[in-house]
Structure formats: C-alpha cells, structure tokens
Amino acid sequence: MGWQMTGRFGISPQLLLGLSLGVLLSASCRQIWAVVASRLTRDDDSTYAQGRIQTKGDDEAVKSEIRVGVEGLIGNTPLMKVKSLSDATGCEILAKVEMMNPGGSAKDRIALAIVEQAEADGLLRPNSGDVVYEGTSGSTGISLAMICRAKGYRAHICLPDDTSTEKVDLLEKLGAEVEKVPPASIVDRRQYVNQARARATDRNNDDSVEGRGLFADQFENEANWKAHCDHTGPEIYKQTGGNVDVFVTGAGTGGTISGVSRYLKQKLPKLKVVLADPPGSGLYNKVKYGVMFDIMEREGTRRRHQVDTLVEGIGINRVTRNFDVGMPLVDDAIRVTDKESLAMAKFLVEHDGLFVGSSTAVNCVAAAKYALKIGPGHTIVTIICDSGTRHLSKFWKAVGPVGGELPAVPLEDILNLSSTASTSRANTPVNG
Ligand SMILES: Cc1ncc(COP(=O)(O)O)c(C=O)c1O
C-alpha cells in the first residue's frame, strides 16, 4: 500500500487525490458563486417585495390574469395605508385607490354598471347608433366616454360652459360629443343635467335618426349605489379582513357612501360611517340635524354655483336617490374648509408623494379629524377618488408652492380641530 500502489480500478492514489481536489474546488467555487448570485438577486427581490411587482417565483404563465378590454381593468383597486396620516394619528388610515381605475376614478364602476344595466333592460344595443347622454362636469363623463367607445356606443356629455379645459379636452379626445351650457339652477330646463335628459328624450321621439338615446342619470340611477354595494364594499371588506371601524367619504351623487355603507354595515354592524362635506353643501346639516341647508344659501349670498368651493365632485344641496338609500346609515358628518383641503393636498405630496384631487383631500382631512377624535388603534377607510392631474388649473393652482426648503407643516397645524370639536357638540345647524 503506498503512493505507488494502484487501486481496484487501476487509478493511482495521486490521480485519485488530484481528482478529489478538483471536485472539491469546483464544488466550493459553485457554492461561492451561488452565494454571490443569491446576494445580488436577493437585493433586487427585497426591493420589489415591498412593492407590488413580483419578478421571482411568478414566471409561470397564468392565462387567467389577462383582463379583457378596458372594462376588465375596472375595480379590484388596491387599498393603501397612508403612512403620514397613520403615523400622525395612531390609527391605521387606509385609502381605496380608485384613481387606479382605467378612466382614473371610481366613476368607471358606475359608468360600466349603468351601461350594462341598460343593455340587460334592452335599452342599449352595441353598434346600433345608440347614444348615452349625461349631464356632468366631473369624472362620470370621462368614464362614460371611455366605456361607450369600448362597447360600441356614442357618448354625449352636457356640462357647464366654465368647466376646466383639461376635462373638456379629455372628453373630446375620448370621442365624446361635448355640449356646453351656461351654469344654471337644477330647476332650470337648460341646466346641464336637465339638458342631457331632454336630449335623450328628443332622440327617442325622433324617428328620423338611427339609434336610441339613454339618459345615464347618475344621481338617480340605482345602478350607481348598487355597483359600490356589489364591488367596492366587498373589496374593502376582503382587503381589510373585515377589520374596519370607520368609513369616511364625501358625497356627490351619494352612490359611493350609500353602496359601500349598505354592504359593510350588514357585515359590520358596529362600523361608523362619516360624511366628509365641503363648504356650500347642505348634506352636513342634513346628516347632523335633518335639515338641508347651508349658510351660503341665506338671503343675498346666493352664488353663481350652488356649492361654492374649490372642491369638485362632492357636496350637493338636494337629496338624490343614491344618497337617500344610504342616508340612515350615515352616523356623523365633518365639515371640511377649502383651507384645510388645500393644506392636506400639499401635506400628502410632501409626506407621501401622493398627488390627489380635491375631493380626496377633503376625505383625508375628515379621516384624520375623526381619527384624532376617536383616538389611536382604530382602522379608518377612505377613498382616493381621482388624481391631482384633473385639478391642476383650479384646486392645485390655489395650493401654491410644494416642497422646497421649508419645513413640512405638522398635521395638527393644517386641521381646524377646534371647529370640529365645537360643531360636533353643537345642537343647532352650524356651517363650518
Ligand atoms: C372626483 C370625485 N370625487 C368624489 C365623487 C363622489 O362620489 P359619489 O358620486 O359616489 O358620491 C365624485 C362624484 O362625482 C367625483 O367626481
């Protein structure tokens, strides 16, 4: 036996040693490389793992993840924790990011529901020349224009002639017919909602034109609140695991607050629903005192618009069908001034990089105020209705400079907390 000896298979010990060393070396090289490679990729993965993008582990093709058309992109929006507001209040403040719908707002849900309901009722037939009419200065026109194009209809949108140019341009680029009318009261025949209704009726009475007319009627059409009851509410329930103490939002048509509340309250009877209301809206007093009145309506102060605020999309001075079906479920209301919503919009950009529209700023003020009122440890859900890009020429112009060298203002400094405390204790109608 010795180094000269050959083994059973005729391999010398030197050769055997060399081979063993080679195998060991190559194995450890592979191990070292594996460690280096895993370090490199783990760095990438941990970055992504905190966000939504998953690059590893989902390289299997899953056909069911393909959404069909723009309709398929509507709903199932993310629920995000607003870190700045949660940290400052000790409550978990969650926001349903409705601006991530393909048309940029929650109105995609109701536009689709209204069109699908009309199809089911035999009132609309694709590619037959049918036209959907709506009176709206907000996002509903944009959502309807998008859905109509996707489903083979035309959209005709009536709006006040002082509607911001970015909205009019967007409607036109989505192929909608835009009709501008002078701002007028809801009792005026030429008011934009009444004008849209009249246009649909005229079309249906005119045998010389091809295709029928449908008045979408977002304020009174019950497909609106039902869309939120069937989808937005259940999504919130699922995303929070049923752990919600408060739902806070503003009301324009009332579809969101009614639909979400109707679903969530039958699942969570202890849930509190809070209306966030801008200046000039009568809903705050309606919820708190049962009287539809706003101080801006008093003798001699009537303005050009019913609801006089920089905020668009929420606030109204009549009880619509869509608000009415959820009104008994609304527990409280918070008045939000324009000063507060402008400061909140700036606060959300400076702390969270979150660029939102005016109604979302109102929602976030109300959510933060309610959080401070009930104390830490609660979960509050609100809505991010649309992006700030829809509000650049009016609301965001008034916000003023953002960021820069100035220290960011603390949350308490932007909320008029004394007014919240006094209005919630008052027993006569007060306008914040
Ligand atoms: C931007 C924006 N936010 C919020 C709302 C309020 O939603 P709802 O009509 O469901 O009350 C609207 C409605 O027009 C809106 O346009």
From the CA of 233, how far away is ligand 1's center (Å)? 16
Asked whether the beta carbons of 213 and 201 are under 8 A apart, the reply is yes
Mutate to test the pocket of ligand 1, among 96, 97, 107, 167 (most ligand atoms within 8 A of CB): 107
Q: Whose CA is nearest to atom 14 of ligand 1?
A: 313
Q: Whose CA is nearest to atom 7 of ligand 1?
A: 252
pTM: 0.82
Is the beta carbon of 221 within 6 A of some atom in ligand 1? no
Please report the pLDDT score of residue 4 as a whole number: 39
Structural domains of the chain ordered from first start: 70-100+232-423 (3.40.50.1100), 107-215 (3.40.50.1100)
Nearest CA to ligand 1 atom 2: 313
Binned at pLDDT 50, 70 and 90, residue 422 comes out as very low
Cα 251 to averaged position of ligand 1 atoms, centre (Å): 6
pLDDT in tens, 291-335: 987 656 554 444 444 557 899 889 999 999 999 999 999 999 999
| Centroid of ligand 1 to alpha carbon of 314 (angstroms) | 5
Average pLDDT, the chain: 85
Active-site residue, from 96, 107, 151, 286: 107
Q: What per-residue confidence (pLDDT) applies to 7? A: 43
107 is catalytic: yes
Return the ligand 1 atom nearest residue 259 CA.
10
